[in-house]
């Protein structure tokens, strides 16, 4: 006759103990993993915001360079036209050929003066576009972005202050960098707006001067 096996109470207690520890450790692991994921997500989001601001800053910097390039083209074209038009007035005034009316020479000189004035104004606005932007004699970034904008970095740190610069960059972290990038975004937006205002006026005046030059060149044919 076989004997019935009685359950081992100690074994059941041991199993319950290890099962409880396993569930506890699993819960803690899930909690830690969740915290790590939330922290990583926050860091990635923070870095993404900074990266987006830097991308926007680069776009505005390209606009500024494009405005400067336009102004340089205007100055080049204006100089080339001036080199062709200016010598013609002396030749025209030295001729003894009769003109359609008595006031024809006066009209030619007036057209020439209008062309010179418009060309000079166009050149002035082009130079204002190319010239470095200043507000009250200093760059607006000075004191506002001492760890991001080149002009502000040069003003705040010497060439031998590399360790100091690196330490301050590490201390301010991503949040501090994002604040300086946002400040530069605002500053360079105003710089870009001012440059495009000057270059737009320069292009408009260059167009008018081209019409005046055309009228002058037609007038000196008679």
Phi/psi for 143 (5° steps) reads: 85, -10
Question: Could you say which DSSP state residue 7 is in?
Answer: P
Backbone angle region of 16, left / alpha / beta, with phi > 0 → left and psi within -120 to 50 → alpha = alpha
Residue 188 sits in which domain range? 45-219
**Per-residue pLDDT tens over the stretch 206-222:** 999 999 999 999 999 88
Cβ atoms 213, 81 nearer than 8 A: yes
Asked if the model's pLDDT at residue 41 lies above 50, the reply is no
**Angle subtended by helix axes 104-130 and 9-94, to nearest 10:** 160
pLDDT tens-place string over residues 126-149: 999 998 888 777 888 888 888 888
Q: Is 135 strand, coil or helix?
A: strand
Q: What pLDDT, on a 0 to 100 scale, did the predictor assign at position 22?
A: 43
Residue 24 lies in a domain: no
In a domain, 34, yes or no: no
In Å, what is the CA distance from 148 to each residue of 2, 18, 81, 177, 182?
Answer: 87, 56, 42, 7, 10
Total count of domains within the chain: 1
Average confidence score pLDDT of the chain: 81
**Is 37 inside a domain boundary?**
no
């Amino acid at each position: 006759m076989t004997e019935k096996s009685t359950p081992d109470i100690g074994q059941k207690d041991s199993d319950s103990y290890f099962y409880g520890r396993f569930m506890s450790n699993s819960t803690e692991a899930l909690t830690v993993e969740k915290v790590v994921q939330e922290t990583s997500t926050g860091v990635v989001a923070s870095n993404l915001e900074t990266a987006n601001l830097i991308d926007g800053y680069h776009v505005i910097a390209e606009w500024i360079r494009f405005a400067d390039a336009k102004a340089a083209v205007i100055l080049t074209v204006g100089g080339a036209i001036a080199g062709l038009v200016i010598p013609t007035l002396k030749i025209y005034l030295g001729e003894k050929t009769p003109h359609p009316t008595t006031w024809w020479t006066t009209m030619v000189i007036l057209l020439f003066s209008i062309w010179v004035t418009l060309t000079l104004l166009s050149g002035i606005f082009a130079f204002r576009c190319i010239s470095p932007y200043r507000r009250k004699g200093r760059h607006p970034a000075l004191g506002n972005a001492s760890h991001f904008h080149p002009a502000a970095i040069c003003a705040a740190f010497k060439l031998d202050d590399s360790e100091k610069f690196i330490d301050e960059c590490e201390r301010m972290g991503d949040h501090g960098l994002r604040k300086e990038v946002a400040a530069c975004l605002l500053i360079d937006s105003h710089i870009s707006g001012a440059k495009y205002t000057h270059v737009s006026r320069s292009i408009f005046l260059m167009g008018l001067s081209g019409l005046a030059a055309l009228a002058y060149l037609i007038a000196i044919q008679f």
